[in-house]
Amino acid sequence: MEFVAVAVAGLVGSFCSTLSPTTELAWVNRLCSRGDIASELGSFLSPNANIHFPRSEGFLESTNRWSTLGTPNISVVVEVANENDVAETIKYANTHSLPFLAVNGGHGAISSLEAVNNGIQIWLNQLNSISIAKDGSTATIGGGAPSKHITETLWAENKQTVTGICECTSLIGPGLGGGHGALQANYRLVADQFVSLDMVLANGTLITVDENSDLWWGMKGAGHNFGVVTSITSKICDVPHNGLWSYTNFIFTHDKVEVLYETINEMLLPDQPQDIISFSFFTNIPAIDPENSVVIFFILREGKEAVGSEYTDPFTNLAKWLRMEETSPPCQKEGNTQLRFPVDLQEFNPTAQHAAFDLFSKTANEAPALAASLFLLEGYSIQGVKVIPADSTAVPNRDANLLISSYLVYKPDGEGLDTKAWDLGENMRQILFKGSGQEHMYSYVNYAAGNEGPRSWYGYEPWRLEKLRALKEKYDPEHRFSFYAPFD
């Protein structure tokens, strides 16, 4: 059942009257006895906005999430059609002391989202417009636009901007936490592309934030904590080399793990060439090795017909393409639990790599339910990322070379399996962290499981959290935005 705003006012009464008076749904009881969102909020919403109640198609579609970790408890969805709808929904939520959460691609998976209880979901899917400025240097992109739509629209005009590498996430979801992507070596992070943001604050006020605002610093790296972004003006650029990329890939068996990561250290780190991305993951391919996991390793190169023997010669050969399309397994929302335990590294410790690999391999053997899991080791070039002064945004640890995280996937099957998966992910990153000799564990906020804590997400320099907390007091003193990796 869907309610179109203009028609809703009278409908909720009949909606409530269709329900059995003994319904067990607590939210229905609350909704129908509280007065109702449809008549109170509906008349303030634009004609294309919708209110979706549980069990309706729109509700199920919009609350379907990538992972069961971090599932917020949502009692009603407001599908907004413009920024004013966002403002009105927030004011309504404030009046009724209800929590609210902006939802975009639905790929946020951090345990802190579970604190949303009886919440109003602000669904941004209609905010997907894209317009390219006349001078071709920027594009204004709706706060709910998915990466694939953005990339395709820009490409049609021979333009591009930095997005995450998956087609299914939004641009702003990753961007508010920094945002890593294939183009970062030349163009920096997703957040570094922002020119201005239109957003709605916790009290329902619409503002435009740009470099002249004190909030600008916080929006780039910790932006989930300050407002709902309805539109982004982002830098764009011409697509160079006709968008040419090449790649080579390899599969290594367990006996090659140490030498592989030693070779990557020597060949690619610490000054990875600007046109090179290295990417590897641990996975299970019984046809290749029924007893042990294997490592798949890619080298990608921008602007060249082939990666080039100077990079590929040291590595042995086999094949399979990086699977990150919309239809690929990592993008799907199929009721799986998907857990990530990120840790930033400067370089590989081959011995620790081997130990982490062995644990992954052993656990997959013992618990076949976890066998579809991966362990990702992303080595984007960071030359462009380091150009931005470290203290100029809320993104911490800009000079980390490697973004590491497990990606444990399984059908939920009780606490035993959850514990096993959680232990595997946490233990693997602890092995790599200890092996690194690094002083602090940094965990990329957009991959975080939720147990790492604010310093791990936002930086260990005390001034960083102090600065974030001061902005919080100014822009969100009631702490209404405190569900995605909160620091308060």
Ligand X SMILES: *[C@@H]1O[C@H](CO)[C@@H](O)[C@H](O)[C@H]1NC(C)=O
Ligand Y SMILES: Cc1cc2nc3c(=O)[nH]c(=O)nc-3n(C[C@H](O)[C@H](O)[C@H](O)COP(=O)(O)OP(=O)(O)OC[C@H]3O[C@@H](n4cnc5c(N)ncnc54)[C@H](O)[C@@H]3O)c2cc1C
381 binds, among ligand Y, ligand X, none (CB under 5 to 8 A by kind): none
**Token pair belonging to 265:** 């250290």
> What's the CA gap between 432 and 317, in Å, rounded?
26
Cβ proximity to ligand Y, 198 vs 258, nearer residue: 198
410: amino acid identity, one letter: Y
**Token pair belonging to 80:** 């907004």
205 binds, among ligand Y, ligand X, none (CB under 5 to 8 A by kind): ligand X
Tell me: does residue 37 bind ligand X (CB under 6 A). no
> What's the CA gap between 120 and 9, in Å, rounded?
18
Give me the least distance between CB of 358 and ligand X, in Å please.
Answer: 38
Of 87, 66, 65, 69, the residue nearest 78 (C-alpha): 87
| 398: helix, strand or coil | coil
Tell me: does residue 64 bind ligand X (CB under 6 A). no
User: DSSP letter string over 296-314?
Assistant: EEEEEEETSSS--HHHHTT
Considering only residues 120 to 139 of the shown chain, the ones binding ligand Y according to CB under 6 A are: 124
**Stretch of 168-176, 199-207, 309-317, 412-420 lying at the interface with ligand X (CB under 6 A):** 199-207
State which of residues 118, 129, 328, 427 lies at the interface with ligand X (CB under 6 A). 118
Question: Which residue is it, tokens 């957003």?
Answer: 199
Sort strands 228-235 and 245-252 into parallel, antiparallel or unpaired.
unpaired
Applying CB under 6 A, the site for ligand Y has a residue count of 32
> What's the CA gap between 170 and 43, in Å, rounded?
29
Cβ-Cβ contacts under 8 Å for 203 (sequence gap 6 or more) = 90, 91, 94
> What's the CA gap between 342 and 345, in Å, rounded?
10
228 binds, among ligand Y, ligand X, none (CB under 5 to 8 A by kind): ligand Y
Tell me: does residue 221 bind ligand Y (CB under 6 A). no
> What's the CA gap between 224 and 394, in Å, rounded?
12
Contact 418, 337 (CB under 8 A): yes
**Stretch of 200-208, 385-393, 406-414, 423-431 lying at the interface with ligand X (CB under 6 A):** 200-208
Distance of CA 366 to the CA centre of its chain: 30
**Stretch of 2-10, 36-44, 54-62, 164-172 lying at the interface with ligand Y (CB under 6 A):** 164-172
203 binds, among ligand X, ligand Y, none (CB under 5 to 8 A by kind): ligand X
> What's the CA gap between 150 and 133, in Å, rounded?
14
229 binds, among ligand Y, ligand X, none (CB under 5 to 8 A by kind): ligand Y
Tell me: does residue 330 bind ligand Y (CB under 6 A). yes
Cα separation values, 70 from 148, 387, 485, 487, Å: 24, 34, 11, 17
Tell me: does residue 336 bind ligand Y (CB under 6 A). no
Give me the least distance between CB of 197 and ligand Y, in Å please.
Answer: 9
Tell me: does residue 95 bind ligand X (CB under 6 A). no
Is the bond into 350 cis (omega within 30 degrees of 0)? no
303 binds, among ligand X, ligand Y, none (CB under 5 to 8 A by kind): none
Cα separation values, 262 from 225, 377, 382, Å: 39, 14, 20
State which of residues 29, 68, 73, 427 lies at the interface with ligand X (CB under 6 A). 73
Contact 26, 74 (CB under 8 A): no
Tell me: does residue 484 bind ligand Y (CB under 6 A). yes
Tell me: does residue 131 bind ligand X (CB under 6 A). no
Applying CB under 6 A, the site for ligand X has a residue count of 9
Tell me: does residue 209 bind ligand X (CB under 6 A). no
Give me the least distance between CB of 89 and ligand Y, in Å please.
Answer: 13
State which of residues 43, 95, 117, 158 lies at the interface with ligand X (CB under 6 A). 117
42 binds, among ligand Y, ligand X, none (CB under 5 to 8 A by kind): none
> What's the CA gap between 280 and 297, in Å, rounded?
4
Give contact residues for ligand Y (rule: CB under 6 A). Answer: 66, 101-108, 113, 124, 143, 164-166, 169-170, 172-174, 176, 179-181, 224, 228-229, 330-331, 446-447, 484
> Interface residues with ligand X (CB under 6 A)?
26, 73, 117-118, 201, 203, 205, 474-475
